[in-house]
Structure 1
Amino acid sequence: MANKFYFRKKNTNHYTVAFYNLENLFDTKDDPKTLDNDFLPDSEKRWNRKRYEKKIVKLGTAISNIGFSKTRKAPALIGVAEAENKKVLEDLVDSKHLKQKEYGIVHYNSPDERGIDVALLYQKQYFEVTNSETISVMIHDDEGVRDYTRDILWVTGILNKEEIHVLINHWPSRRTGVEDTGYKRIVAAQKNREVIDQITDQDPEAKIIIMGDFNDDPFSESVKKHLVQNDLFNPMEKLHTRYRGSTSYRSQWNLFDQIIFSYNFHRYEKEKHSFSDAGIFDKDFLKIYKGRYKGTPFRTYSGKKYTGGYSDHFPVYVRVKHNG
C-alpha cells in the first residue's frame, strides 16, 4: 500500500495533453446551414437521442482515462475534432465521467460544409485562456473554387503559470485520393508555419503545441517537410508502425492524429514544463474485440450500420512535467 501511495504522489507534477477525433459528434437536430442530414432520426443511420447520449458517455469515459494511469488525473488540455457545435461539447464535458473535472471549452463554428469543428477542452484548475482566435485555411482547386475546410484554432493560455500556445487542426481528408488531395494538406501545414513564425517573431522562446487530425502520417510530405522544421519535435514519428496507429483503413494503420511541439519542451527549466513521453491511447476497451477488424478502433458506425462504439480514431497524447 505504501508503494502504491508513493507512485501516485510521485506523478502529481505530470500533466496530459491529448487530441481526439470524436467521429461525427452530431446532435439530433437539423441545421439548415450544414450537411448534417446523415445524423438525424429519420436518416438512413437512424441517429437518435439514445444513440447520441450513449456516445457522449462513451467519449467521456475515454477522455477521463487518457494518461490517468501515470498522472492520476484526466487531461489538462484536450483538442478535439468532428464536433458539430458548442452544445455537443457542453453535453460532453457535463457527462458523468467529466462533470467533476470542470472543463472549459474554446470553440468557434468553422466554414466546413458538414459543420464539423475543432475545439479545445481544458481543466480550469490548470489552464487559463488568455486569447483565442481562428485562422482560415484558404484552399482553391484548379478552377479557383474554394474548398471550405476547418479553420485552425489558436489558443493562448497559462498552464500552471507558464504561457503556452496551442494550435488545433483538422486537415482536409483523403476522400478523393491521397495524391489528388495532398496539396490541400500542404497548404494547411504552411498556414501553421505562418502562425508559428508569427508567434516566435514576438517571442523567440514561446512554447508551442500543434495537434490535430492531419489526415497524413508523421513522414508524409505535408508534416515532415512543410510543418516540422528544426524548431519542432514530433514524438509521433517513433510511434507509427505497421502494427499500430490511431486509425485503420483497409488493414493499414495510419497515425493521422499527432501532437507536435516546440523543441524548448526538451529543456529543463524551473517553473516550466518539459516533455516526458508520448503515446497512442489504444486500450482494449476502445478496440473491436473480435472478427475481421479485431484490434482496430471500436467506432460508432461501420458505413450505415450502427455499431455503438466510441470513435474510428484512438486518442493520442503527450505528458509534460511541471518542474517545480
Structure 2
Amino acid sequence: MEKKDTIHKYHTIAFYNLENLFDTEDDKYVLDNDFLPESDRNWTPKRYDKKIYKLGSAISSLGPEDTKNAPVLVGVAEVENKTVMQDLVDSKQLQEYNYDFVHYNSPDERGIDVGLLYQKEHFEVVHSESIPILIYNEEGNRDFTRDTLYVKGLLNNEPIHVFVNHWSSRRDGAAETAYKRIEAAKTVREKINYIQTEENDPHIIIMGDFNDDPTSESIQNYLMDTDLYNPMEKLLTIYKGSLNYRGEWNLFDQIIFTTNFFDYKKGTHSFASAAIFDEHFLTQWKGKYKGNPFRTYAGRRYLGGYSDHFPVYIRLKFNR
C-alpha cells in the first residue's frame, strides 16, 4: 500500500455517538447486563463484530472527499472500555489509518465513557486527563455521570486542546435535568478559562453529545463566550439534525472551537466548513422512520444498524 502524503490540505475532525458499544463480557462493576449474549437483547459476539465492522466503515468514510483521508481526530461517546476502543481501531476498515486512542474509565453507572481516536501520523498526544463532572441531587448525593476527556496534543505540529463530552441525558425530562448539563458546561468553561491563563491564544476544540441543542441554556449561557464559535447553530432545521426523537430533529452532537481557527498563519489550521454526516447508508431506507439514523436497537428489538446518532464533523484547512 502506498504511503499517504505527510500532510494533506484539508483535515476532518469528527464526533460520533456510537450507541452502546459494549463488548459481550460481563463486567461486575457496571450495569452492562443488557448487553450480554444471555440478555433480552441477545448481544452476541456475532452482533458485536457486525457493529464494529459497520462503525469502522462509517468512520473511514466520514467527512468530505477532498480531505482524501479518514478523520484525523474522532471523539466518540458510549464506549464501554479500552477493549471496544482497541477492537474499533483494529477493525479492517480502520487499520490502514494507524489510529491510536485515549480512553479513561469513568464512574457512569452503565459503564459508558467517551474517548478520542487519533491518527498517529497527524496527531501526537502531549497530555490527557479525565475531568469529573460533579453533580449532586437535592439530597446531596452525587449523580455519577460520564467524565469529560481532555487531551492536549500536536495536530500536524500545531498545539491544540480537545475536550470530548457526553453530558447527562434528558431521560427524566429536559427541564428537570437541565441543571446537570449546566454544571457540565460550567466545568468545561472553567478548564478553558484556566488554559487561557496558562497559554497565549490557545486553539481549543470542544466536541460531544451535549444532550442539548446549540441554542440551549447550558451551551449559550454557560459555555459560549466571545472566544468560541459554534458552527452547528446554523445546521439544525426542522428537516435535519443528528438524532430524531418522536419525529423532531435535535442537534445534540456538536463541535465548537475557539475563534482563532478563523485566523490564517502558516503552519496552523483554519476552519473551512462543518456538516452533519447523514449519508444515505447511515439512514433507515424505508418505513415510518425513513431518513432517521439506522440504529442498532429500537428498544430491545435488534435492527443491526450503525447508531441512533449521525456523526458530525468540521473540516480544517492546513495553512502551508
SS at the partner of 2:117? Answer: strand
* Aligned match for 2:220, one of 203, 221, 224: 224
SS of residue matched to 1:54: helix
SS in 2 for 1:270: coil
Answering whether residue 17 of structure 2 is matched by residue 13 of structure 1, we say no
- Once residues 233 and 266 of structure 1 are traced to their aligned partners in structure 2, the CA distance between those partners, rounded to angstroms, is 10
Q: How far does residue 144 in structure 1 lie from its aligned partner after superposition?
A: 0.5
> Where do 5+ consecutive residues of structure 2 fail to align?
none
Structure 1 residue runs of 4+, over 4 Å off?
Answer: none
SS in 1 for 2:222: coil
Q: Which residue of 1 aligns with 2:85?
A: 89
Q: By how many angstroms is 1:224 displaced?
A: 1.1
- My pick for the range that moved more, 66-75 or 314-323, is 66-75
Answering whether residue 290 of structure 2 is matched by residue 294 of structure 1, we say yes
SS in 1 for 2:175: helix
Q: Under a length normalisation based on structure 2, what TM-score does the superposition of the two structures give?
A: 0.97
What RMSD, in angstroms, separates the aligned Cα atoms of the two structures? 1.2
TM-score, normalised via structure 1 length: 0.96
Q: Deviations over 1:245-302 (max 9, x none)?
A: 0000000000000000001001111111110000000000000000000000000000
Which of 266, 273, 283 is the matching residue for 1:270?
266
Deviations 1:70-123 (A, max 9, x none): 201000000000000001010001111101111011000000000000000000
Preserved CA contact (<8 Å) 1:68 1:74: no
The answer for the alignment partner of 1:4 in structure 2 is none
The one-letter code sitting in structure 2 at the alignment partner of 1:253 is W
The alignment partner of 1:314 has SS state of coil
Superposition deviation, residue 12 in structure 1: 3.0
Letter aligned with residue 292 of structure 1: K
Q: Deviations over 1:199-218 (max 9, x none)?
A: 10011310000000000000
Aligned partner of residue 139 in structure 1, secondary structure: coil
1:175 aligns with 2:188: no
Count of aligned pairs: 316
Match of residue 119 from structure 2: 123
Write out aligned runs for 1:37-186 (5 A). Answer: 37-186=33-182
- The whole-number CA distance in structure 1 between the counterparts of 2:92 and 2:25 is 23
Asked if the contact 2:102–2:117 (Cα under 8 Å) also holds between the matched residues in 1, the reply is yes
CA distance in 2, matches of 1:110, 1:68: 33
Quote the residue 2:308 is aligned against.
Answer: 312
Aligned sequence identity (%): 61
Report the residue type matching 2:292 in the other structure. T
Asked if structure 2 preserves the Cα contact closer than 8 Å seen for 1:154 and 1:165, the reply is: yes
Provide the rounded CA distance (Å) in 1 between the counterparts of 2:71 and 2:291. Answer: 24
Give the 3-state SS of the residue equivalent to 1:74 in structure 2: coil
- Cross-structure match for 2:243: 247
CA distance in 2, matches of 1:24, 1:154: 21
Q: Is the 8 A contact 1:106 1:121 kept in 2?
A: yes
In 1, the alpha carbon distance for the partners of 2:269 and 2:92 equals 30
Q: Is 1:256 the equivalent of 2:252?
A: yes
